Structure formats: C-alpha cells, structure tokens
Structure 1
C-alpha cells in the first residue's frame, strides 16, 4: 500500500514539475512575442508587414505587448532586443517591415546603430536566454 502511494506521489510531482516548466517557458518575459506578432501583422515570407503604421508605431505596439531587454533606433529603424533574439522594424513602402532574427546576426547587420548593446562576440557576452547567468 505504501509503495503505491509513493509511486502516485512521485508521478504527481513529476507531472507538476513538467507543467510548471512548460508554463514558465511559454510565458517567458524575455522572449520575442512571436505568436502575438504572427496574429497581429501580415506574414510576408519570413517577415511581417504593417501597411498602415510607421516603424515607431509598430515598435511601440510590440513593446506594449512585451517589454524588451534593450532598444535602439537609427536610420529610421527601431531595434528591440529580447534575450538571444532581436526585432527590427524598418520602413516599408507606406508602412513597416518587421524582422525577427538571432541577436548575433542582427547585431552584425545593424552594429552601427546598436552602440550601447553588448557585442555578442565578446568574452563577457551572456545571451540572456534560458540559462542566463549560469
């Protein structure tokens, strides 16, 4: 009888830990709000479009959905850093183009506008994703 209770308690503990882990990664406040971007903007290949709003307005809307770790702007573009990823919002025809990419690639592409952001190729860089600071 005791062993059956122990097994049930162990299974319940494992299930609880699994559910808590799944919920915490989905609600990661350090991650790009990808699902929200997908639902809110028009897909265009690997990117998204907002045909009516300026890059500043789009960046502010994304920030309102989830606060970024760092932000910068330059050359009419807006940059939002979320851990190991970044969002770039650029002018596109009469609206805005939204790109989500790996922080290292984005930093390399837009380095001249990201002067206060950490260089991902430096020894001291910590990505900010899962396991940050370990």
Structure 2
C-alpha cells in the first residue's frame, strides 16, 4: 500500500464517522427534548402509585409515594419542568387547604395553562395531586389566585373604580 491510498482510507473512515455522529446527534436532540417536555400528568402516573380520581378535568387525581416530600418534589420538578413553583405561606394559613394538609406544607407546581400539581405530606406518605389547571385553580384559588394572570384573561376586577 502506498501513502496516498492509506490517507484516502483514513479520510473515508473519518468522513463516515462524522456522518454517523451528525445523524446520532440529530436523533438524540428530539429524544432529549421529549424527555424534558413530558406531559406532567403522564410523568407522575408513570412514577407514583395511583390512589384516587380518574379525570383531572373533574377533580384531583391523587398519587402517593413512601419517599419524603422534598425528594418527591425534587423528582417531579426535575422530571416535568414546571413553569412556576410556590409553597403555601404563613399568609394563607387562615385558609384551609383542600388537600387536608397544613397549607404551609403544600407545594404548588404550575404548568402554563395546562396543569396544576400539588405535593404534600399525608399520613406518613407524600401525596401528589394532579388537576387540569382550571379545576386546580378553582380548588386552590385561595393559595394560587395570582397565577390566573397567566391565562390572558380580560378580567379586570369587580366593583367601581377608575381605569376599568
């Protein structure tokens, strides 16, 4: 073999390697994006034990885990990427939580206008409550009322006043 043939072979091998690498990266990008943008309800359904509820448009669908709240919350956030997070605060303790948990122990996750997930302790377990956003908003309005502004609503408040 002469030097020119050997370098031609290596050039072909390098070219094929580059083509294979480009194809693999083009396939990997959509898979990585879909892994991050998974439907939050589907993700929770795949990772936790179903407790109650069937239709998140009509009421909460509840799942449970034996892991602590912080671990479950971290896993749900990493697996679903919420648009906004909030924890119940001392200012909402006068409002009872529909979950039955202390309002300060409930973590709320908002997913655009689509989903509301609550993570909270219950009887030594961690509960994960999934609702469609409108249903979840009605259920938890006293705690997440400010989130309705994301809906693009034309609601401008009630009563008299300037600028309505």
TM-score category (smaller protein) = 0.5 to 0.7
| Count of residues in correspondence between the two structures | 100
Q: Aligned pair in 2 of structure 1 residues 93, 108: CA closer, same or farther (>3 Å)?
A: same
- Of the three residues 76, 80, 83, the one matched with 1:69 is 83
- Of the three residues 42, 46, 49, the one matched with 1:42 is 49
Runs of 5+ consecutive residues of structure 2 not aligned to the other structure? 1-29, 54-61, 89-102, 156-164
Q: Which has the higher helix share?
A: 2
Runs of 5+ consecutive residues of structure 1 not aligned to the other structure? 1-22, 125-134
Q: Mapping of 1:41-60 within 5 angstroms? A: 41-46=48-53, 47-54=62-69, 56-60=70-74
Q: Mapping of 1:1-134 within 5 angstroms? A: 27=34, 32-46=39-53, 47-54=62-69, 56-74=70-88, 75=103, 76-83=105-112, 84-119=114-149, 120=151, 122-123=153-154
TM-score by length of 2: 0.51
Q: Which is higher, the Rg of structure 1 or of structure 2?
A: 2
Q: Using the TM superposition, give the Cα deviation of residue 115 of structure 1 relative to its aligned residue in structure 2, in angstroms.
A: 4.5
Within 2, Cα distance between the matches of 1:52 and 1:28? 23
